[in-house]
Amino acid sequence: MGLKVLLINFKMVIVTFIFGFSMVLSGCAPAVMKPSPEVYRETPREADEFEENAEKPGLSPRALAALQLTEQGRMFLENNQPDDAIGILERALNLNPNNGRNYYYLAEAWLMKWNVGQAAEFNRLAEIYLKDDSEWRYRVRLQRERIKEQNQ
């Protein structure tokens, strides 16, 4: 009970102080304004939630199909076949451009082919698309360091 009264009194003090201070400053300083909540949506709509979810790997059939190709590409990389990996990963990319792993593996493939320029380009794109995944973000960072090393 005592704590509640104390909190109300504290609010009153703050309100009074800010009110008085604002009255003094309102004529010379820009007011703190918040954006209008009623917004006319003139900017085009973003993809709705279903579309967003549909594009997440593992949910949309398109993404699932693309993941199959990504996996095939990864296998080629494991078998040290970067040329074959690139061909498959490009198809995966066309099917689902939002899967950052494709860019990551493409960077790996180009690293294997000692093409640092292309590896760096794909690593940069992987960074954009994998920014929300901490584990992959870490892998992308390590890859970037390897690219730098190879470039030296």
Partner 1 sequence: MTKKKRSINIFFKRLLKWYLPTVILICGIMLVYCWYLSIQIDKRFSGRRWSIPSKVYSDTTILYPGQKTNRTLFNEKLRRLGYREVAHRPVDKGELNRSASSIQLYLHDFIVPSRYKEGIPVQIRFGENRIESITNLNTGQLLPILELEPEEVMLFFGPHRERRQLVSIDQVSQHVIYAVLAAEDRRFYTHKGLDPKGILRAVYTNLRHASIRQGGSTITQQLAKNYFLTSKRTFIRKLKELFMSVTIEVMYEKNEILEIYLNEIYLGQKASEAINGIGEASFFYFGKSVSNLSLVEAATLAGLIRGPNHYSPYIDKDRCQKRRDMVLNAMVEQGWISDEELKMALPLPVEAVGYASYGKKAPYFMDYLSEQLTVLYSPQDLSSLGLSIYTTLDTQVQMAAENALRTGLDSLEKSNPELYRTDPQKQLQGAVIVMQPKTGYVLAMVGGRNYSASQFNRITQAQRQPGSAFKPFVYLSGLDKFTPASILSNESRIYEIDGKEWIPQNYEPMPEESVRMRNALARSINLATVDLAMQVGIDQIISEVGKFGFSTPLKPYPSIALGSFEVIPLELARAYCPFAADGVLSYPLALKEVLDENDIVMERRYMSIKQVTTPEKAFIMSSLLQSVVENGTANSLKKMGVAFPVAAKTGTTNDYRDAWFVGYTPDILALIWVGFDDGASIYASGSKAALPIWAGLVNALPQYVSGGWFRMPPGVVKQVVCSESGQLAVEDSCPHPIEEYFLADHVPIDHCAIHGDGDSFGRIIDGLKGFINKF
Tokens of 101: 């792993």
27 binds partner 1 (CB under 8 A): yes
80 binds partner 1 (CB under 8 A): no
- How far is the C-alpha of 11 from the C-alpha of 109, rounded, in Å? 62
For residue 121, give the DSSP letter: H
Q: Provide CB contacts within 8 A for 128, sequence distance 6+.
A: 100
129 binds partner 1 (CB under 8 A): yes
13 binds partner 1 (CB under 8 A): no
- How far is the C-alpha of 14 from the C-alpha of 35, rounded, in Å? 24
Question: In angstroms, what CA-CA distances link 1 with 5, 14, 115, 147?
Answer: 6, 20, 71, 64
Closer residue to partner 1 in complex, CB, 10/138: 10
19 binds partner 1 (CB under 8 A): yes
58 binds partner 1 (CB under 8 A): no
128 binds partner 1 (CB under 8 A): yes
- How far is the C-alpha of 151 from the C-alpha of 7, rounded, in Å? 62
Sole binder of partner 1 in the list 74, 76, 101, 105 (CB under 8 A): 76
Binding site for partner 1 (CB under 8 A): 11, 14-15, 18-19, 22-23, 26-27, 30-47, 51, 54-55, 60-62, 64-65, 68-69, 76, 81, 83-84, 86-87, 90-91, 93-95, 97-98, 118, 121-122, 124-125, 128-129, 131
